[in-house]
Amino acid sequence: MPEPTPEPNPLGAGVLLFSAGLDSFPAWHFLGRPPVVYFDLRHRYAPQERVAVEKLAARCGMDLTISRELDLSDREAPDAIIPMRNAYFAMLAADRADLIWCIGVKGDHTADKSPEAFGVIGNMITALTGRDVRIHSPFWELTKTEIVRWYLEQGLPTDDLLLTFSCSRSDGRPVHCGVCPSCLRRWCSLVNNGIDAPFEEPPWQWERVRTFYVPAMWNGTYPDHRAAELFTALARVGVTV
Ligand SMILES: [Zn+2]
C-alpha cells in the first residue's frame, strides 16, 4: 500500500467534519488532531452518532464543537442520504476555518462527495466569501480497509476504533445492526484487518448480501476494490461466492 501523505496545509490545521465514523476518526489522527465539528442534523441516527462523538472527544481530548444550526431531518431519504449534505456542512464550516477536511474515501463518487464536487463547493464558497476556502479529503486514494490498516499500524487503540459509530438504524439503539449498508462496509473493513467487531446480526448473513451485493459486485456496479474487499471478508467467515 502506498504511504498516504497529507495534502499541503498552508492554512493551519483547518477543521475536520467529524461524525465518529470509521473514516473520520482515523482521519483526525492522520491530520494531526485538528479541531473537529459535528453537525447534528436531527437525522435518524444522530442520537447514537452524537453519543459516539462525545465519548471519543472526551476520551481522546478532541477540540469538539457540536453544531445544531441545521435541521435537515425532513430531507432524509429512506436510504439515509441527505442530498447536498456536504455542501451545507462546508458552508457552515467555512465560518470556522478556510480549510475544511471532509472525509471521502477511494471510490466515493456521489453528487456532493468526490474530488470534483469538493472543488466545486470550495470554488462556490470562495467566490461568495472572497476568502480562499478549500474542502479536501486526505483519503481519496485509500479504501476503508486501508484506512483501518493505517490506523492499526500506528499502534493506535482498537478499543477507540470500536467506539466509532457507523450504522444507519433509526431506533436509537447504540448497537450496530449488521443489516444496513453502513454496517456491511464497517464489517468488511474491520474483519479484513482481523478485528471481530460486535454486530446485532451477522452482516455476512444479511439477505441483501446474497440477493444484491454479491451480484452487483460481479456485474461491475461497484469498483473492483469494493468487490475484492467484500469477497475477502466473506471468505474469512467461510462464505464463498
Ligand atoms: Zn447498521
Quick one: pLDDT band at residue 8, thresholds 50, 70, 90?
very low
For the sheet with 64-67, list strands across it. 64-67, 36-39, 15-17, 99-101, 134-136
Confidence (pLDDT) at 236: 96
Q: How far is the CA of 211 from the centre of ligand 1 (A)?
A: 18
Q: How far is the CA of 165 from the centre of ligand 1 (A)?
A: 9
Residue 169 CA to ligand 1 center (angstroms) comes to 5
* Residue of 49, 17, 55, 25 whose CA lies nearest to 168: 49
Going by C-beta distance under 8 Å and a sequence separation of 6 or more, which residues neighbour residue 131? 94, 98, 125
Query: What would the mean pLDDT of 90-110 be, rounded to a whole number?
Result: 94
> Residue 73 is placed in which grid cell?
431531518
**How far is the centre of ligand 1, averaged over its atoms, from the C-alpha of 49 (Å)?**
12
Beta strands, E only, the chain? 15-17, 36-39, 64-67, 99-101, 134-136
Chain segment 62-76, per-residue pLDDT in tens: 999 999 999 998 888
Cα of 197 vs centre of ligand 1, distance in Å, is 12
Output the CA 220–ligand 1 centroid distance in Å: 24
pTM above 0.95?
A: no
Give 90's pLDDT tier (boundaries 50, 70, 90): very high
128 exposure class (CB count in 10 Å sphere: 0-12, 13-18, 19+): exposed
140 Cα to the center of ligand 1, angstroms: 24
Residue 12: pLDDT band with limits 50, 70, 90 = low
Tell me the average pLDDT across 199-221: 96
CA angle 71, 39, 23 (to 5 degrees): 135
- The architecture in CATH of the region 15-136 reads 3-Layer(aba) Sandwich (3.40)
Domain extents for the chain?
Answer: 15-136, 172-236
Sequence letter at residue 81: I
What is the average pLDDT across 186-209? Answer: 97
Ligand 1: centre distance to CA 48 (Å): 11
C-alpha cell at 34: 485538528
Centre of ligand 1 to C-alpha 176, Å, is: 5
Give the three cell numbers for residue 19: 461524525
d(CA 198, CA 162): 9
Span 139-182, pLDDT tens digits: 999 999 999 999 999 999 999 999 999 998 888 888 999 999 99
pLDDT greater than 80 at residue 11: no
Residue 124 Cα to ligand 1 middle (Å): 34
pLDDT at 213 over 90: yes
Chain mean pLDDT for the chain: 92
At residue 6 the predicted structure's pLDDT band, cuts being 50, 70 and 90, is very low
The better pLDDT of the pair 154, 80 is held by 154
Residue pLDDT, tens place only, 14-65 = 999 999 999 999 999 999 999 999 999 998 888 899 999 999 999 999 999 9
